[in-house]
Chain A
Amino acid sequence: MSARTYDAIVVGSGMSGGWAAKELCEKGLKTLVLERGRNIRHVTDYTTALKDPWQLPHNNRATNDDRKAQPVQSTLYLYDQSTKQHFVDDNQHPYVQEQPFNWFRGYQVGGRSLMWARHVFRYSDLDFEANQKEGVGIDWPIRYADIAPWYEHVEKFIGASGENSGLPQLPAQVLQPPFEMNALEKHIRKGMDAAFKGERKLICSATAVLSREHNGRGPCQGRNQCARGCPYSAYFSSNGVTLPAAAATGNLTLRPDSLVHSLIYDDAKKRVTGVRVIDAVTRQSTECFAKVVFLCASALNSTAILLNSKSSRFPNGLGNDSGELGHNLMDHHNGGGATASYSSLLDRYYRGRRSTSMYIPRFRNVGKREPKFARGYGYEVYTWRNSWTRGVGSADFGADFKNEITRPGEWGLFMEGYGETLPYHDNRMWLSNDVDPLGMPRIHVSMSYRDNERLMAQQMMDDAVEMMTAAKLENVKGFNNPVTPGSVIHEMGTARMGRDPKTSVLNSHNQVHAVPNVFVTDGSCMVSSPTQNPSLTYMALTARAVDHAVGQLKKGAI
């Protein structure tokens, strides 16, 4: 047993943890980052990054053994021989699906910041005010003005490219020039501008991928193999950006293979004094101590740590006076969309593989109120010229067939909406008494989409068809597929912020109401799930919370 003492402890090294580490270290705090998974060193450990398809087993196709070891992870679109090492072994890290729930996880230094989809949008007051205006859930304790400087702070450091929409629901960001649209996208943009007069528009998505060099990183080399880890540091990850910045201060101690079991609460001090850690390799327990703890272990895991931190003061989990801990679980839903083709512009092509998509910002419930559902959705839009894969399903073969499919085919399009999910009290996670192989109580998850999401998904499909028809695409076909919760990998809301300790877990600075030296700054803090991808908001809230925490420490308030 060794006891270690630091100024600050950060649990988790992903999107939020990397930011907490950087900000704490840069403000002079000796900071311990505890990561439950193995170390992945930037570049050095990206073992598949530069492999050609033929250098990967089975030309990059997943095997039956892969699916057996990773039955949930292997269903993800990103999963293949080049990325599987960044996803957990589901059998080693079991959870209980009370209803079907896909929990995609990366237990390693960098967490899911290694494999994320990289879209970075700001939320606006349309989002922050919605719960209050509609009487849904509880009110966000912050407004756009509170977070705007922190969005800017984060954007300037991470480096992102893309187009500002000029729409109030998607506030302007600090962005490098966007990646170029291809010929079909330019065509769609024109068609939509003509049909919808700027109310619905196609833009190049704001993405944490560098179109220009930034602080010695990038630019993007057009490989579109981000999830393997980028040898050019051209997309944002903890491994490549925040953790190196934290390490450069000399204040960082990074401990991989260190699972946090629970927080140590001192009744007399009314503070958390440290954390109990299980070594994931030796399974030995140890304790680490600090003045302040940041939980950044991902929504379900940070919430599990709080629920597992029981004391006489907090018999139902630390900070759970409200009873809301584990409740109000949200994820986006992306079942509605359309596919289409286009048989003109065949003299145009592209070069390189763009690692971002086009985007259509939210337009529903922006001005006028929809009768059928609350909130809205934005679309990711992907286009291409058909490749050899179009030959797989056909009955043809032979020399003519080969000549045909080795030339660029017609244009194709796939677009899907990303819809807001409302917070429902009974969408939740909890712990049971049986423990996983590392000694953590098992996480149970129960979540379903409701009428608001279902009605929205129908409109998502109809609007996609309407827009692509207006842009004069061909073979426009809508789809509205059922979505298994968790699949969008934006799980959030299980330790929500709020003004009132009776109905929320965290205050407006992500601080546990009753234990002010504990901060939770990952997705668990979310009060609603806006349309936009959430990572940028987690990063901004983290930087903002660190600033507050350090101010409080200096004042002796915590």
Chain B
Amino acid sequence: MTDRRSFLRGSSVLLGSAALGNVLAAFAASPRKATFFNAHEMSALRAVVDVILPATDSPAASAADTHHFIDLAIPACAKPAAQKTFREGLASMVASGFANQPAAKQVEWLKARAAADMPLAYDQSFFKMLKDYTLTGYFLSEVGATQALAYEKIPGGYWGDVPLVANQKAWAI
């Protein structure tokens, strides 16, 4: 699945497909340039963070540039072995044509990956790393913290025991 040959095969398929249009659209929508991952990988990342955290009553993960957070944070923060895990996992996603699959197929792919990864240690699990970086990237972004969650930069004090109001969001930090 994740060997180099299948990676290359997947890439060549992608290059000749409508994926290129998708990649270009991604760049048009976001002025940010990737630093670590290539355009195909960014395209897959952008798609998968929105499968994990889609738009609900708050914006989707990509609207908070979560894929760009991951692009910066994986090379800076993940240990070398974990970086390798992540790169390989992402390559297999690209190879599967993830970015252009219909939503149901994307969910199916990610569910299968989750099931396969659950027994693995964090550093060996693409899915666990992906969840970690997606959630950290989104929920600690301005969009995630203030729209998906509740954020008070300076609460002004502490109230230990207050009623929870209907549909109240959790504190971001």
Interface residues, chain A, with chain B CB atoms under 8 Å away:
50, 52-54, 57-65, 179-183, 185-186, 219-223, 346-354, 385, 387-389, 391-399, 401-403, 405-409
Q: Does B28 touch A at the CB level, under 8 Å?
A: no
Q: List, in ascending order, chain B residues with CB within 8 A of A222's CB.
A: 152, 154-158
Nearest residue (CB) in A for B141 is A54
Minimum CB–CB distance from A403 to chain B (whole Å) comes to: 6
Q: State which of A347, A394, A399 has its C-beta within 8 Å of the C-beta of B56.
A: A399
For A407, give the chain B residue with the smallest CB separation: B170
Q: Which of B132, B145, B148, B155 contacts A54 (CB 8 A)?
A: B145
* Least Cβ–Cβ distance between A362 and chain B, in angstroms: 25
Contacts A388-B139, A397-B53 hold; do A50 and B160 have CB atoms under 8 A apart? no
How far does the alpha carbon of A299 sit from the alpha carbon of B158 in the complex, in Å? 35
**When chains A and B are docked, how far (Å) is the Cα of A202 from the Cα of B42?**
51
Tally of contact residues, B, Cβ under 8 A: 56
Task: Given A352-B152, A388-B135, A395-B115, check contact A402 B160 (CB 8 Å).
Answer: no
Interface residue B73 (Cβ < 8 Å from any Cβ of A): yes
B8 within 8 A of A: no
Shortest beta-carbon distance, B88 to chain A, in Å? 19
Asked if B145 and A53 make an inter-chain contact with CB atoms under 8 angstroms apart, the answer reads: yes
**Contact of A350 with B110 at beta-carbon distance under 8 Å, contacts A223-B155, A397-B53 already known:** no
**How far, in angstroms, from A394 to B132 measured CA to CA in the complex?**
10
User: What is the minimal beta-carbon distance from B136 to any residue of chain A, in angstroms?
Assistant: 6
**CB pair A351 B153 closer than 8 Å:** no
Which of chain B's residues have a CB closer than 8 A to the CB of A396?
Answer: 114
Of B18-26, B33-41, B94-102, B161-169, the one with at least 4 CB within 8 A of chain A: B161-169
Among B114, B140, B158, the one with the most A-chain Cβ atoms within 10 Å of its Cβ is: B158
In the assembled complex, B58 has its CB within 8 A of some CB on chain A = yes
> Contacts of B69 on A, CB cut-off 8 Å?
58-59
**Residue B13, interface by CB 8 Å:** no
CB-contact partner of A353 in B107, B118, B128, B155, under 8 A: B155
Q: Among B77, B145, B156, B160, which residue has its beta carbon within 8 angstroms of that of A179?
A: B160
Q: Is B79 an interface residue (CB 8 A)?
A: yes
- Residues of chain B at the chain A interface (Cβ within 8 Å): 51-54, 56-58, 69, 72-73, 76-80, 107, 110-111, 114-115, 118, 127-128, 131-132, 135-137, 139-142, 145, 148-149, 151-164, 167-173
> Contacting A397 at CB < 8 Å: which of B52, B140, B155?
B52
Central interface residue in A52, A186, A347, A348, by most chain B CB within 10 Å:
A52
Distance to closest chain A CB from B113 (angstroms): 9
Determine which of B76, B114, B162, B173 lies in contact with A64 in the assembled complex, contact meaning CB atoms within 8 Å: B76
Question: Contact partner of B77 among A63, A180, A402, CB < 8 A?
Answer: A63
Contact of A347 among B128, B164, B173 (CB under 8 A): B164
Residues of A within 8 A of B170 (CB): 385, 387-388, 405-409
With A182-B161, A401-B52 known, 18 other A-B pairs at CB within 8 A are A50-B153, A52-B153, A53-B141, A61-B136, A64-B79, A349-B168, A350-B160, A351-B152, A351-B159, A351-B162, A352-B152, A388-B139, A397-B53, A398-B54, A398-B107, A399-B56, A406-B169, A408-B168
CB <8 Å contact, A354 and B77: no
7 A-B pairs with the lowest CB-CB distances in the bound complex, closest first: A180-B160, A352-B155, A222-B155, A352-B158, A59-B140, A53-B140, A395-B114
User: Pick the contact of A221 from B56, B79, B154 — CB < 8 Å?
Assistant: B154
Greatest chain A CB density within 10 A among B128, B168, B170 is at B170
